[in-house]
Structure 1
Amino acid sequence: MSDTIQQDWDPRSESVLDDQIAAYDEIRGRCPVAYSDYLQWSLFHHEDVMRVLEDHETFSNAASRHLSVPNAMDPPEHTHFRRLIEPYFGPAAMSDFAPQCRAIAEAVVDRLPADGEVEAMAEMGQDFALEIQCAFMGWPTCLHEPLRAWVNRQQAATLAGDREALGELALEFDGVIREQLHHRRALGDAAPDDVTTRIMKETVKGRPLSDEEIVSILRNWTVGELGTISASIGILMNYLARNPALQTRLRDEPSLLSTAIDEILRLDAPLMSNRRITTRPVEIGGRHLAAGERLTLLWGSANRDEAVFDDPDEVRLDRDPKDNLLYGAGIHVCPGAPLARMELEFFMEALLTATVELAPASGRSAIRARYPAGGYSAVPLRVRTAKPASMAS
């Protein structure tokens, strides 16, 4: 049994938490499948992570204690729900949302000072994530600040390992969603024709979705988006501030933005991990695992594996995109990837168009986020925009 196995590493040690990326790089070279009491079996190699992603019969997604649609489901149940949600992120849906998405990106960027300092995570990343997600879901702008407060409390409880607080926060968030459902039902035929209303009308296997299933779907979309989009903005702004040559190139060649964004987020993961559970005994990475063992897939390591990515710390725009696990792979590849890519591209396009310089803030450094978050908890930067100083916000 795994509870008798000696620990190979401690994911909660200060040396790991202070810089997860550097720690994972070191562990990957000496113990590609490592055991810990906290994360159980952690997979560091790209090859092993891909094997898990492509063998959902041996490595089940049903690793959550709570209903998670369709994230913690396996086929055939997963297939029915996946077929239901994919059109919400299809080409037609993205085309419809694009003008509003671009307008929000430009509005957030327009708040930058003409010449001064900005904290990229809170002032740019979090603002954009809140506003864009509420707009996509059809939720009112009055939810921006309550959701911001909820995100901050949730992050604090996660870092503190406060399970009781996390449980209360989960119920609170579900209450926000249920209030939106109640509001639309009260409006009847006058309810807005938005993503939330349309999900409420969906069926699966010939029956209406239960409220629990609707809440789960909307929770997964929203909580995941709020965290990963803001983390991605922080990572991208921090990287470009420290790499002025690439910053200049992307201003001159905006057609490279999409490729550059995926590559920057490959080397500095906004989402650090996902979970699986074994359905039968299996050997992976030279370790023998029994049925029922829990695994942690470390995107922050697999996407930097030297066996797949030459010079993994370098942003190279000629890499094969199929190797990048930013949005996962296999049947559980992120269905919201088209939306996330569009949001990030529009934001970065607006940012690079509006600014003439991004640079590290004087005397202050970016602060790494701690597991389970990826990226940074703070990114202080200096910005210089093309607008007159009299317009500084």
Structure 2
Amino acid sequence: MAFDRNTPYNELPNLPPPGFIESPEILKQLAKAARYLGELNGLCISLPDPQILINTIVLQESKDSSAIENIVTTQDELYKAATEDDTNNLGAKEVLNYKEALYVGMKRLQDQQNLLLTNTMVEIVQTIKQNNAGIRNVPGTSLKNAINGEVVYTPPCCEDVIREKLSALEQFINDPEFSSFDPLIKMAFIQYQFESIHPFPDGNGRAGRILNALYLVQQGLLIQPVLYLSSYIVKHKTEYYQLLRSITEKENWQDWVMYMLTALIETTQLTAKKMKAMLSLKSNYEKQLKEVLGTSFSYDLLQLMFTLPYLKIDLLVKKEIAHRQTASTWLKKLSDADIVRPQKIGRTTYYINFRLMEILSSDS
């Protein structure tokens, strides 16, 4: 049956794509992607305390993945919100929910014998959206061109069909004997399939990108979900959606796989560069903090500076790093030494690790 964009695509084929053969160009790009991914994983393994830097990298991925869905927040809004118990900034709140969903997915991966299951996907979307959304169970969902309202794709309907598609996707993800393709090529397949099943009313794109990162962890290619893939997709967003459509309408898998491998190459290089720069800055700051704070030097304070670039007195007190007066004294000394820069927003003064923010904001 020919594809009809106005009709639910219940005939969406299960993976792997029939007849797909890796071209020489794909094999060359695959080898390059695997090499850079291995280097990034080695860097993650070498970190003395991975969570210090990984939190900030994951927040960057969360920000860019949300931006693909037109959920926009600035770096300043995001990192300021990350220090709060709650925030009124809806964009920042959705980004923080994405970060939380990624960590939820990691926890479920550990709890479920390294399996990526439908119930994990459901929990990820519920965490992103902060609701009890489940699998789509009513007809009428279609994806439309934002400019002219034209239907460009109608995903499978309804819940029984969607669960059947997800069950087949589960098998493809979790059963290594089911397909002999390289995991990086399979990751590209999985991304398309999840987007095409479109199992939830909202949050599918973000959930699919979290699934990418979790899949690489499941496959032992990354020890932490630091895949910063969305930075590439943001810059090549039109092509991203065009290539998804090209598979559905023309079975053009070759260009899609090349796109995803190129995204992997560029983003693993960028992520590794950022992490090295952050490690170098942290080492320099450790020396400076010891000079500025003397015998009251706190390694916990140094760690916090690289976990949350926006500091405030209340945050140091809440984390039990220092009492209020000590926290105030420390931050004043760091400000006088131009290690952090104060910024008063409303009644609160934030002390910004501005050099770290410069690293995080760089896209090259």
Q: Same fold (TM over 0.5)?
A: no
Structure having the higher helix fraction is 2
Q: Which entry has the higher C-alpha Rg, 1 or 2?
A: 2
Larger RCO, structures 1/2 (Cα 8 Å, 6+ apart) = 1
Bigger fraction of residues in strand: 1
- Tell me the TM-score normalized by structure 2: 0.30
